[in-house]
Amino acid sequence: MNENDVTPTTPGQPGAVHPASNPTMPIPRPPAGPVPPPPAAGAPYGLAFGATPPSGPGTGPGPDAGQSRPERERRMWPAIVGTAALTAVLASGGSVLAINALDDDVAPQSSTSIAGGSSNISLTTVGETTWEEIASQVAPSVVAIQVATSSGEGEGSGVIIDASGRIVTNNHVVAGANNDTVQVSLSDGRIYDAKIVGLDPSTDLAVVQLVDPPQDLQPATFADSDKVLVGNPVMAVGNPLGLANTVTTGIVSALSRPVSTMDESSYVVTNAIQIDAAINPGNSGGPLFNAAGEVIGITSSIATLSSGSSQAGSIGLGFAIPSNLARSISDQLIEDGEAEHAFLGVSLSDATASADGVTRRGARVEEVTAGSPAANAGLQRGDVIVALDGTFVTGAESLTAAVRERSSGSEATVTYVRGEQSVDVAVTFATRPVEETTDESTQVPDDEPSGDTWTWPGSDEFDWFPGSGD
């Protein structure tokens, strides 16, 4: 499992991290009957990200703002997402659990107070269904995952996808597990070994399967993530900070948000669902449900403020991999043990372009791979791609994320600007070569200035990591 922290260039600007692992805690059964309302959206319990964790196994202070960085650190081009760069790098380890209740209160969408002596219990409702009913309905489909690796132990979450015991989680949760085996705890406390079926670092997704699964598993139902709308209510369920069966609620804050993460071998860019439901280390790989109790995403990363900020805790910026992508990749991992990815064949940088009196952000083509779909479509260095199938892209990462949502062999219309002319061209995506690790690279060429530098926090469990791949 992995936890990560970043230091944006602009003070107070958020950067994304993977919620990942923490020590094992007892797994309580969900209580029967009404329960108190979940924490207000954006108000988690637990260790403040970007702050120095308490002492204990696998903990250590983050890098000082003025600390010189080792030579292995490299430059990384920052994502342009509105005015914020949302980027994550991976780290791992377990930290001592510290619980701090935040006092921020946000009014629920609607509530009914039930008198009970001198106290009231508020039942948050979504239409005719209460979150209490949804939580009870989906709890058996969510699992806690414990992993032992050569560098230590950690935890994450997962969701059961079929009756045979297959579970979807994040790649960064289970990658590197000793003997490709992890331990899975069901919501009722039963514990099973599970073997890794397949890993896909490019999308940060993985599938594991229970060894000798029970006959009473309850698979989750997956919804069409293309139908998710901004403002839809959501519920995240998982194992944050080792606290199994934890439920938090919020809304969809944005869609198709390009969010990048970095592990030891792959640069992951996802068109994520942005949410304000609190997610923390240990939530990684857990499901994000809609108000019907259907999975619309797999929670994978959060944004934190820079280490120099006086604020702490969740700032209401969490990200989930859309369910359609999770389902497509998991099906391939189950069938073949690996997943294929669409390949356009360009290296990109951020740019703007003007055509017909309109200026837009886009992705400038820096290099075209010979014989690639981009080359076959006539794309050239200097072209600025501004849309894919009519959906505008805001930069290199935005286009990269859009391509990675596609399947090899699929077709799309690329809109680009050359000179001051807008051109539409059809492309058929190829299968990304196995040796191609950066795909539609978002790295700025060496002769251009870089932006922010992203590093791991230092501790015995993790080390400095380069900000970009070769």
Residues pairing with 50 in the sheet = none
State the average pLDDT over residues 332-348. Answer: 91
Q: Is 284 a residue of the active site?
A: yes
Residues pairing with 203 in the sheet = none
pLDDT at residue 204 is higher than 80: yes
Task: Tell me what percent of the residues of the chain surpass a pLDDT of 90.
Answer: 42
pTM, entire model = 0.66
pLDDT at residue 198 is higher than 90: yes
Three-state SS for 274-336 is EECCCCCCCCCCCEEECCCCCEEEEEEEEEECCCCCCCCCCCCCEEEEEHHHHHHHHHHHHHH
Three-state SS for 387-445 is EECCEECCCHHHHHHHHHCCCCCCEEEEEEEECCEEEEEEEECEECCCCCCCCCECCCC
Q: Does domain 1-100+120-339+448-464 have CATH number 3.30.420.10?
A: no
State the average pLDDT over residues 43-64. Answer: 32
Most confident segment among 133-147, 314-328, 434-448: 133-147
Residues pairing with 417 in the sheet = 384, 422
| Residue in 5, 200, 204, 439 annotated catalytic | 204
User: What pLDDT is stored for residue 274 in this prediction?
Assistant: 94
Spatial CB neighbours of 468, under 8 Å, sequence gap ≥ 6: 74, 75, 76, 77, 262, 267, 443
State the average pLDDT over residues 282-288. Answer: 94
Determine the longest span between alpha carbons in the chain, in angstroms: 75
Residue limits of CATH 2.30.42.10 in the chain: 342-431
State the average pLDDT over residues 87-100. Answer: 31
Count the alpha carbons within 13 Å of 381 in the hemisphere toward its beta carbon: 6
Least confident interval from 126-130, 328-332, 441-445? 441-445
Q: Is 470 a residue of the active site?
A: no
**Mean pLDDT, the chain, integer:** 71
Question: Cα 463–465–468 angle (5° rounding)?
Answer: 175
Least confident interval from 99-113, 251-265, 379-393? 99-113
Q: Which two tokens stand for residue 109?
A: 């969408």
pLDDT level of residue 265 (50, 70, 90 thresholds): low
Least confident interval from 22-31, 220-229, 341-350? 22-31
Residue limits of CATH 2.40.10.120 in the chain: 1-100+120-339+448-464
pLDDT at residue 391 is higher than 60: yes
pLDDT at residue 77 is higher than 60: no
Closest CA to 366 of 468, 254, 444, 266: 444
User: What pLDDT is stored for residue 434 in this prediction?
Assistant: 66
pLDDT at residue 34 is higher than 60: no
- Cα distance between the two ends of the chain: 24
Least confident interval from 109-113, 143-147, 277-281, 361-365? 109-113
State the average pLDDT over residues 331-344. Answer: 91
Q: Does domain 342-431 have CATH number 3.30.420.40?
A: no
Q: Is 187 a residue of the active site?
A: no
Closest CA to 170 of 245, 84, 62, 92: 92
Dihedrals phi, psi of 439, to nearest 5 degrees: 55, -135
Task: Tell me what percent of the residues of the chain surpass a pLDDT of 70.
Answer: 61
d(CA 47, CA 101): 10
Least confident interval from 49-63, 194-208, 320-334? 49-63
Least confident interval from 384-388, 422-426, 459-463? 459-463
Element holding 374 (H helix, E strand)? helix 373-376
d(CA 218, CA 141): 5
| Residue in 5, 18, 141, 172 annotated catalytic | 172
Q: Which two tokens stand for residue 296?
A: 């619309």
pLDDT level of residue 108 (50, 70, 90 thresholds): very low
| Residue in 187, 266, 284, 300 annotated catalytic | 284
Per-residue pLDDT tens over the stretch 441-463: 433 333 232 322 222 222 222 22
* Residue that has been written with the tokens 């194992």 in this structure: 239
Closest CA to 143 of 333, 286, 248, 17: 286
What is the β-pairing status of strands 384-388 and 411-418?
Answer: antiparallel
State the average pLDDT over residues 370-379. Answer: 92
pLDDT at residue 78 is higher than 50: no
